[in-house]
Amino acid sequence: MASTEKKKKKKRKKSDGSELIDPPPGASVADGNGTAEDKAPEESISPEVQTTSEVDDPESSCVPNPRDSSLPLHLDSAFEVKVITTILMQCVKCTSNIAQYGQRDCMALATTRLERMREHIKDVSRFNYEQAIHAIRRDTALTTGRAIQTRYNETIFWPIILKCAALIDPATLPPAKGPADGFTMAEKAATKKFMEDTGYSVGAENQRQYRIFWKNIFDMREAGVDKILLYRTKEFDSFCRGDSKRLSYLSNLQVLERLKVPEPSWNNASNEWAVNAEEEIFRQRSSKSISTDILGTPHGDESVYEGGSDKSAFITLLPKDDETLFVSSIVPICEGDTLGIFAGTIRLSEDFNVTHGISGPAENLWLDYSQVTGALNQMQVSEPGGNANVCLRWEAFHGDNATEPCISWRVSVKATKHIMPFDPIVRATAQQEQYHLHSSPGNAKRGFLESATN
């Protein structure tokens, strides 16, 4: 096998910015965390329009994203540059929307009543052109202002949680388990109660990530980092969270007892090129546009809340028995939904690995998961052509614009049928040798890395 070297600075699609609090993709033999990444709706309904927590920014494709995935988020200066750049863009977008209407208070009533919303739209439709433009600008400005307010509200969630923690009798709490993480059992219990009372999903991983996130942005506010918090972006939130590869799975007690994988070999965030030279060869070959039927859509956690098909937030690893794990979803999955990324590195080589290889859409292009694994790699398998409820799909991404050669790939896990909550997720293996690899409990214990067969 060619030595794997991580590409140091490379442009990535927007999805790599990582979403706000989402449970890692799950697999069938390994995933032991009752994770749920559900976020309460970011905005209330304004009288005229439904608000959104993040405004999709078409300019974000111009933001450099040369993230060095070998470094922790807080040590990656290139990623920090992107964080600050996106905040500035968000600031410009928000202030531009508000400027269309002006810095003012408005007495327009906010409502959650559908009849009142319909009445408002009818009223606007009767306006003359100038009046209608004024109303639209006002609604856009109010929506933007409300979005800023809602994001900023989160900076005081942590002290509210601490007030709840102070009311909890320590004698009623279970003993702490696992390694210390800087939070008391009372703070953990209070976080769970707060999330239940405010409508957040309370999966174990979701609780953990929100605890870290809310405490971090509160500490920033107390330290005087005030205005940046008004224009938070997904990249900024990801920076505060710092776990795009979902390494937290490996410290979960239920997973830790059943899965032994080194942290450098665990990555649920992206599919990197394994060898720089192979990437360059592919770039030179791919002067033609990639077929539109394999062009990917960046993952985004907002799609879940808008009824989208990205269900990676709801995939989790759960104990199957005393020794193994299985991957499932905590919500219903529809045919065509995306469950997350199948971990591995991209290769362009004739040296195809029959046990750890997934063939790609171009000659000698394949995914190698012998050195890198992730949650969805642990899913249950059937023999080639056997029963399955998901498939692996290669998705291509251009550079900053659609005319650039495609050098980025993602191998997504797609549902091929309806899957009920907590049903095992199953894929059909590509080769018989791969089926035998995944049939071994010993290999499952090591996440099906190549070392498991040595």
- Beta pairing partners, 329: 315
Of the two residues 247 and 447, the one the predictor is more confident about is: 447
Confidence band (pLDDT; 50, 70, 90) for 49?
A: very low
Instruction: Report the SS3 class of residue 100.
Output: coil
pLDDT average, residue stretch 146-166: 90
Confidence band (pLDDT; 50, 70, 90) for 418?
A: very high
Give the number of residues written for the chain.
454
Q: Which pLDDT does position 182 carry in this prediction?
A: 79
CA angle 404, 409, 412 (to 5 degrees): 140
Q: Give residue 78's identity as a one-letter amino acid code.
A: A
Structure tokens at 15: 């999805």
CA–CA dist 118, 136 (Å, integer): 15
Give the tens place of pLDDT for each residue, 349-379: 999 999 999 999 988 999 999 999 999 999 9
CA–CA dist 172, 162 (Å, integer): 17
Q: Which pLDDT does position 308 carry in this prediction?
A: 57
pLDDT average, residue stretch 48-66: 37
CA–CA dist 270, 194 (Å, integer): 32
Residue 59 has pLDDT above 60, yes or no: no
Q: Which pLDDT does position 253 carry in this prediction?
A: 77
Q: Which pLDDT does position 282 carry in this prediction?
A: 87
Of the two residues 251 and 20, the one the predictor is more confident about is: 251
Rounded alpha-carbon distances, angstroms, from residue 229 to 59, 237, 290: 20, 10, 39
Residue 208 has pLDDT above 90, yes or no: no
Give the tens place of pLDDT for each residue, 231-256: 666 656 665 555 556 666 676 777 88
Of the two residues 139 and 241, the one the predictor is more confident about is: 139
Residue 73 has pLDDT above 50, yes or no: no
- Beta pairing partners, 315: 329
Q: What are phi and psi of 398, to 5 degrees?
A: -80, 180
Confidence band (pLDDT; 50, 70, 90) for 152?
A: confident
Alpha helices in 171-287 (DSSP H): 185-198, 204-222, 227-230, 234-241, 253-256, 276-285
Rounded alpha-carbon distances, angstroms, from residue 132 to 20, 28, 102, 269: 35, 54, 16, 44
Instruction: Kindly give, in sequence order, each residue whose CB lies less than 8 Å from that of residue 86, ignoring residues fewer than 6 positions away.
Output: 17, 57, 60, 63, 233, 234, 235, 236
Residue 166 has pLDDT above 50, yes or no: yes
Q: Which pLDDT does position 82 carry in this prediction?
A: 65
Of the two residues 29 and 212, the one the predictor is more confident about is: 212
Instruction: Report the SS3 class of residue 390.
Output: strand
Residue 415 has pLDDT above 70, yes or no: yes
pLDDT average, residue stretch 62-76: 41
Confidence band (pLDDT; 50, 70, 90) for 394?
A: very high
Residue 58 has pLDDT above 60, yes or no: no
Confidence band (pLDDT; 50, 70, 90) for 139?
A: confident
Of the two residues 409 and 234, the one the predictor is more confident about is: 409
Q: At what angle do helices 77-99 and 234-241 cross, to 10 degrees?
A: 140
CA angle 52, 56, 58 (to 5 degrees): 160
**Cβ neighbours, 10 Å, residue 316:** 30
Structure tokens at 22: 């989402």
CA–CA dist 354, 178 (Å, integer): 38
Rounded alpha-carbon distances, angstroms, from residue 311 to 223, 316, 332, 379: 36, 11, 9, 16
Q: Which pLDDT does position 229 carry in this prediction?
A: 67
Chain centroid to Cα 216, Å, comes to 19
CA–CA dist 417, 422 (Å, integer): 15
- On average, the pLDDT of the chain sits at 74
**Cβ neighbours, 10 Å, residue 424:** 17
Q: At what angle do helices 129-153 and 114-126 cross, to 10 degrees?
A: 150
pLDDT average, residue stretch 185-214: 90
Residue 295 has pLDDT above 50, yes or no: yes
Q: How much helix, strand and coil, in percent to the nearest 5, is found in the chain?
A: 40, 15, 45
